[in-house]
Amino acid sequence: MIKIAVDAMGGDYAPKEQIEGAMFAVEKISDIEITLYGDKEKINTHLREHPRIKVVESQGVIDMGEKDPIRAIRSNRKSSMAMSLTSVRKEENDAIVTSGATQALIAGAHILVGRMKNMKRTAIAPVIPTVKRNMILLDTGGNMEIRPEYMVQQAYFATIYAREVLGIKDPSVGLINVGTEEGKGRELEGEVEKLFFENERINFYGNVEPKDVLNPPADILISDGFTANIVMKTIEGTAKGMGVMLKEELSRGILGKLGLLLSYRNLKRFKKRMDPAEIGGAMIYGLRGVVIKAQGSSKKLGFYNAIRQAAHVVRQDVIGKVSATIEKEEA
Amino acid sequence: MIKIAVDAMGGDYAPKEQIEGAMFAVEKISDIEITLYGDKEKINTHLREHPRIKVVESQGVIDMGEKDPIRAIRSNRKSSMAMSLTSVRKEENDAIVTSGATQALIAGAHILVGRMKNMKRTAIAPVIPTVKRNMILLDTGGNMEIRPEYMVQQAYFATIYAREVLGIKDPSVGLINVGTEEGKGRELEGEVEKLFFENERINFYGNVEPKDVLNPPADILISDGFTANIVMKTIEGTAKGMGVMLKEELSRGILGKLGLLLSYRNLKRFKKRMDPAEIGGAMIYGLRGVVIKAQGSSKKLGFYNAIRQAAHVVRQDVIGKVSATIEKEEA
């Protein structure tokens, strides 16, 4: 049995959607057991009993807007997020899924789960739906400034993840850059380019300009934690803005309104296709345990997908395989 | 009369669309004179004579994919781009509009037009259509790494441009960042934040996350030349990718196809609304003359809009006003 801790209290729709996602997951996936961490009383108003779901009482939630996430975690060891993280450290659970505050989660994961041996930095890596395939984008939030060598380790992790979890045979890695030619970009890009080219374990595609970001020529797009976060948020902002303009324009005129009506199901499918929650959450790479961050706005299906993803990562022993690769490197 | 040099040979559809744009511009705008630089024979197959359009013969074009743009400019002083740039330096023209290669243009503008006195760095600043207003984005390509003080000068330029050309009363400046709270981001963002807050000439909104990039809370979004370029290209890539997916989804099913047909005009309007060429080109800030880069794929209307924009910048004496501001600063 794969044991998954679910932080039932973090996120916009907690605990209802978390619990519904968990109930759906145990129905659909037969080799998992879920422990919900949270306020038992609140949880029990939504939970139907199930032999593979249990509840552990926790106290309090880490606020989304927490100014000092490290302090928040240190002073709330009984919070649902802290307790579920600790359960992974203690090996009571194999993975944790949460839609709680990202910065607190990163801090908490470092303090309570800990980094893998020889792993220099963690990274956050969402999977983004694109025109033809799913793409891994990293690092969307860990490290504002980073050394090129550390990005090599992150590329290993993403490569193994893409192979084992997304089922891509020989995943290619693209470096986010302002041009496709060699030597484009800042000093960082120049150094990373060289390291990636030389490295046999990385199937390096070369530079990728974000004007191909939703139709990328590589399976993995990598940059530092500032840039990749900006890319992720610009995708989000453009999609949102375009959605508003599309809605405004499509509802003009009587024929237009009729057209909109007839296109309703197709537009809904379009929206669903763009929704990253359909794929799961963002994994934090580089920890001793499997930590999946579902979007704060995740609902039942988003949560279910994140749980499914967590189970898959455990099943494929992604962390073990990355550890082995990094150890070879260090030896 | 405002005198505008048009590089007739650079860009995907040269010289036809350039010439049509120029002819349309002299018809619509009464206080401009245009000089087309290019291959006279080719130009004359498209040009109808007009008292306010003349042609100057040039030799050769700077290639889009030029590996060494500085050398390309230095060794092609008779090219259409180099000659039109030089005409601005010699004050034969007040402005130049080109859709030639960006990197060669930046190099050429530095060598042949020159930077404004006391201006530390140039910047490229396109105007981007958003849900509610047009937004200036900079620097989308000049400087891969930059000092915070230089961004202050660039913010002055954008502010004056927004006021004089876009007609915004008290333009606000947002700093592109990974979070809205003070202190977010890299060292650069921290320093720029402080400088902008202290500065009375900058109406500083604060940090802006790109998840609001198409519905921004500020008139101007600023970052270094690497990040802003990544943002611009991510907007482009997301729009393109979403467009493909939208088309695929909307054409599903018979009712869907009918809906698509009825929505045809509205979808066309939507596409037009998203098109930056509708607004004009990107101005290169910080030069001794007005240099406007139209998109490489510009057609007649895109070119016309870029010419209109160039005339407006000259009419409002944007460069004179920025010079005065920077001189006060230096004194």
For chain B, the domains span 1-119+286-317, 125-277
Q: Which of A141, A235, A261 sits opposite B234 (nearest CB)?
A: A235
CA distance B146 to B176: 15
pLDDT at A92: 97
The crossing angle, in degrees rounded to 10, of helices B148-164 and B318-330 is: 140
- Please write the tens of the pLDDT for every residue from B158-216: 999 999 999 999 999 999 999 998 889 999 999 999 999 999 999 999 999 999 999 99
The dihedral over CA atoms of B112, B113, B119, B122, expressed in degrees to the nearest 10, equals -80
Q: Among all residues of chain A, which has the CA nearest to that of B271?
A: A246
pTM for the full predicted model: 0.93
pLDDT at B199: 96
Q: Among all residues of chain A, which has the CA nearest to that of B233?
A: A211
Highest mean pLDDT pick, B21-30, B248-257, B260-269: B21-30
- Please write the tens of the pLDDT for every residue from A80-106: 999 999 999 999 999 999 999 888 999
CA distance B272 to B261: 17
In chain B, what residues touch A141 (CB-CB under 8 Å)?
178
In chain A, what residues touch B251 (CB-CB under 8 Å)?
266
In chain B, what residues touch A178 (CB-CB under 8 Å)?
141, 144, 226, 229-230, 233
CA distance B207 to B267: 33
Mean pLDDT (whole number) for B250-264: 88
- Please write the tens of the pLDDT for every residue from B18-52: 999 999 999 999 999 999 999 999 999 999 999 99
User: How long, in residues, is chain A?
Assistant: 331
ipTM greater than cut 0.90:
yes
CA distance B38 to A187: 38
Evaluate whether B132 touches B218 at the Cβ level (below 8 Å).
no
- Mutation pick from A137, A176, A184, A234 vs chain B, by most beta carbons of B within 10 Å, is A234
- Mutation pick from B176, B242, B248, B297 vs chain A, by most beta carbons of A within 10 Å, is B242
The phi and psi torsions of B48 (rounded to 5 degrees) equal -95, 135
* Fold of the domain built from segment(s) A1-119+286-331: Isopropylmalate Dehydrogenase (3.40.718)
* Fold of the domain built from segment(s) A144-275: Isopropylmalate Dehydrogenase (3.40.718)
Q: Which of B260, B238, B240, B265 is CA-nearest to residue B250? A: B260
Q: Do domains B1-119+286-317 and B125-277 have the same CATH topology?
A: yes
Residue type, B195: L
CB spacing of A233 vs B252 below 8 angstroms: no
Taking 50 as the pLDDT cut, the residues of chain A under it are none
Q: Which of A230, A238, A250 sits opposite B238 (nearest CB)?
A: A238
* Fold of the domain built from segment(s) B1-119+286-317: Isopropylmalate Dehydrogenase (3.40.718)
Q: Angle CA(A315)–CA(A294)–CA(A119) in degrees, nearest 5?
A: 60
Evaluate whether B97 touches B290 at the Cβ level (below 8 Å).
no
Q: Which CATH number fits domain B125-277: 2.60.40.420, 3.40.718.10, 3.40.309.10, 3.40.50.10860?
A: 3.40.718.10
Q: Among all residues of chain B, which has the CA nearest to that of A128?
A: B238
